[in-house]
Structure 1
Amino acid sequence: MKKLILSVITTLAFTLCTPFITQASPLAYSTERIAGQDRVETALKISQKGWNSAQTVILCEYNDFPDSIAATPFAVSLNAPILLTRGEAIDPRVIQELQRLSPQKVILLGGTACLQPAIETELTEKLSIDWERIGGFDRYETSVLLAKKLSSDSLILANGDDFPDALSAATFAGIRQIPIVLTSTKLPDSVIKYYQEARPQHLIVIGGEAVIPSDNLKKNNFTVETRLAGYDRYGTNAEVVSYMKDTYQSIDLFLASGITFPDAVAGTVLASKFKAPLLLTEINDIPPSVYTIMREHMKVEPPVPAQAPKDNSEDNTSDKAASNLHKQGKITASGGLNLRETPSSTGNVLITIPEGTTINLGDKQDQWYKTTYQSKTGWVSANYLAVISIKGIISASGGLNLRETPSSTGNVLVTIPKATSVELLEQQDHWYKTTYESKTGWVSADYITLATTNDNSSTSNNGTTPNNGNSAPSIDLTVNGQVYILGGTAIISPTSQSIIEGKKSSNYKDNLKDFPPLPSEIKKPDPPPSRGDDNDAPPAEDPITPSPPDTTYDPSKEVLINPFQEIPANALAGKTIMLDPGHGGPDKGASGPNKTHEKNNNLAIALALEDTLKQAGAIVLLTRDKDISPCDNYSEIEDLQARVTIANKSKADLFISIHNDANLKPTIQGTSTYYSEDNPKNYASLHLANSIQSAVIDTVKTNNRGLKQASFYVLRNTTMPSILLETAFISNPYEEARLQNPTFQKNVASAILLGIYNYYKNPLPEA
Structure 2
Amino acid sequence: MRRIFKVLPICLLGLVLFIPSALADNTASRIAGKNRYDTAVQASKKGWSSASTAVVVGGGAYADAISAAPFAYQKNAPLLLTNSKNLSSETKSRLKELKTKTVYIIGGTPAVSNRVASQIKNLGITVKRIAGKNRYDTAAKVAKSMSSTSKAVIANGFLYADPIAVIPYAAKNGYPILFTNQKTLNSYTSEAMKSKGIKQTFVIGSTGSINSTLYRKLPSPTRISGKNRYDLSVNIAKKFSLSTSNTYVSNGFKYADSISGAALAAKQNKAIILTNGENLSKEPRTFIGDKSIKYFSIMGGTPSVASKVANQLKNPAVGKTIFIDPGHGDQDPGAIGNGLKEKDVNLDIAKRLNSKLYSAGALPVMSRSNDTFYSLEERVKRGANAKADLFISIHANSYTPSSNGTETYYDKNYQSANSKRLAEEIQPRVVSAFGTRNRGVKTAGFYVIKNSKMPSVLIETAFITNSSDASKLKSATLKDRAAKGINDAVSVYYR
Q: Distance in 2 between matches of 1:250 and 1:241?
A: 8
Residue number in structure 2 paired with 1:418: 437
1:320 paired with 2:348, answer yes
Alpha-carbon deviations, 1:406-462, whole Å to 9, x = none?
A: xxxxxxxxxxx8233241435567x99xxxxxxxxx9963339xxxxxxxxxxxxxx
Aligned residues of 1:58 and 1:109 also touching (Cα < 8 A): yes
1:110 aligns with 2:115: no
Show the counterpart of 2:286: 292
Which residue in the other structure is 2:223 paired with?
Answer: 227
Task: Map residues 231-310 of structure 1 onto 2, 5 A cutoff.
Answer: 231-245=227-241, 248-298=242-292, 301=316
Partners of 1:387 and 1:520 lie apart in 2 by 12
SS at match of 1:227: strand
- Using the TM superposition, give the Cα deviation of residue 297 of structure 1 relative to its aligned residue in structure 2, in angstroms: 1.7
The structure 1 residue matched to 2:142, chosen from 132, 143, 146, is 146
- For 1:380-428, what per-residue CA distance to the aligned partner results, in whole angstroms no more than 9, with x for missing partners? xx9xx798463535849999xxxxxxxxxxxxxxxxx823324143556
- Aligned CA distance change for structure 1 residues 426 and 106 (closer, same or farther; 3 Å): farther
Secondary structure of the structure 2 residue equivalent to 1:265 = helix
Mapped contact 1:159–1:183 kept (Cα < 8 A):
yes
2:148 and 2:196 in contact (8 A); partners too:
no
Check 1:319–1:139 CA distance in 2 against 1; reply closer, same or farther (3 A cut).
same
Q: Deviations over 1:240-261 (max 9, x none)?
A: 111011xx34501001111121
Kindly state the Cα deviation for residue 112 of structure 1 after the two structures are TM-superposed.
1.6
Deviations 1:599-625 (A, max 9, x none): xxxxxxxxxxxxxxxxxxxxxxxxxxx
Distance in 2, matches of 1:443 and 1:124, equals 70
Mark the runs of 5 or more structure 2 residues left unpaired by the alignment. Answer: 1-18, 295-315, 325-336, 355-388, 393-411, 451-456, 464-483
Are the structure 2 counterparts of residues 47 and 184 from structure 1 closer, same or farther at C-alpha, using a change threshold of 3 Å?
Answer: same
Q: Which secondary structure state, in structure 1, belongs to the residue aligned with residue 133 of structure 2?
A: coil
Shift in alpha-carbon separation, 1:174–1:386, aligned structure 2, 3 A: closer
Matches within 5 A, 1:80-229: 80-125=77-122, 127-148=123-144, 149-185=146-182, 186-218=184-216, 221-229=217-225
Contact 1:203/1:224 (CA < 8 Å) preserved in 2? yes
* Gap runs ≥5 in structure 1: 1-13, 20-27, 307-311, 325-358, 363-367, 372-381, 400-416, 433-441, 449-468, 476-501, 504-518, 522-767
Q: Partner amino acid for 2:74?
A: S
Q: One-letter code of the match for 2:149?
A: S
Residue 140 of structure 1 and its aligned partner are, at CA, apart by: 0.6
**Shift, 1:68, TM fit:** 0.7
Deviations 1:11-53 (A, max 9, x none): xxx956299xxxxxxxx63211111111111111111122100
Cα shift readout 1:343-402 (whole Å, capped 9, x = no counterpart): xxxxxxxxxxxxxxxx9899xxxxx9656xxxxxxxxxx9xx798463535849999xxx
Select 2:460's aligned residue among 445, 459, 466: 445
Task: State the secondary structure of the residue aligned to 2:277.
Answer: coil
- Out of 64, 72, 76, the position equivalent to 2:73 is 76
Check if 1:17 corresponds to 2:17: no
Q: Is the 8 A contact 1:160 1:166 kept in 2?
A: no
What residue in structure 2 maps to residue 487 of structure 1? none
For residues 691-702 of structure 1, the aligned pairs below 5 Å read: none
Superposition TM-score, scaled by structure 2 size: 0.62
Write out per-residue CA displacement over residues 331-354 of structure 1, whole angstroms, 9 at most, x where no aligned residue. xxxxxxxxxxxxxxxxxxxxxxxx
Report the CA distance shift for 1:386/1:163 in structure 2 as closer, same or farther (over 3 A): closer
* Alignment partner, residue 44 of structure 1: 41
Higher relative contact order (CA 8 A, sep 6+): 1
Contact 1:254-1:276 within 8 A present in 2 as well: yes
Please say if residues 199 and 220 of structure 2, whose CA atoms lie closer than 8 Å, have aligned partners that are also in contact. Answer: no
Are residues 234 and 396 of structure 1, via their aligned partners in 2, closer, same or farther at CA, if it must alter by over 3 Å? closer
Runs of 4+ in 1 over 6 A off after TM superposition: 359-362, 396-399, 471-475
* DSSP 3-state at the match of 1:42: helix
Q: Alpha carbons of 1:249 and 1:18: their partners in 2 closer, same or farther (altered >3 Å)? A: closer
Give the match for residue 717 of structure 1: none
Change (3 A) 1:238 1:397: closer
The residue aligned with 1:666 is none
TM-fit CA distance, 1:117: 1.2
1:750 maps to what in 2? Answer: none
Aligned in 2, Cα 1:427/1:198: closer, same or farther, shift over 3 Å? Answer: farther
**Pairing of 1:605-684 with structure 2 (within 5 A):** none
Q: Which has the higher helix share?
A: 2
Structure 1's 118 and 443: CA in aligned 2 closer, same or farther, altered over 3 A?
Answer: closer
What is the CA RMSD across the aligned residues, in angstroms? 4.2
- Are 1:250 and 1:275, in contact at CA under 8 Å, matched by a contact in 2? no
After TM superposition, list the pairs within 5 Å mapping 1:226-625 onto structure 2. Answer: 226-245=222-241, 248-298=242-292, 301=316, 315=341, 317-320=345-348, 370=414, 388=420, 390-391=423-424, 392=427, 395=431, 418-425=437-444, 445-447=460-462, 520=494
Contact 1:281 1:287 in 2 (8 A): yes
8 Å Cα contact 1:257-1:283 kept in structure 2: yes
Give the Å deviation of 1:473. 7.1
Q: 1:67 to 1:361 in 2, by over 3 A?
A: closer
Q: 1:296 to 1:142 in 2, by over 3 A?
A: same
Judging changes above 3 Å, is the alpha-carbon distance between structure 1 residues 396 and 425 closer, same or farther for their aligned structure 2 residues?
A: farther
Q: CA deviation at 1:145?
A: 1.2
| Counterpart-to-counterpart distance in 2, 1:361 and 1:90 | 56
Deviation at 1:474, TM superposition (A): 9.8
Which residue in 2 is equivalent to 1:29?
A: 26
Deviation at 1:88, TM superposition (A): 1.2
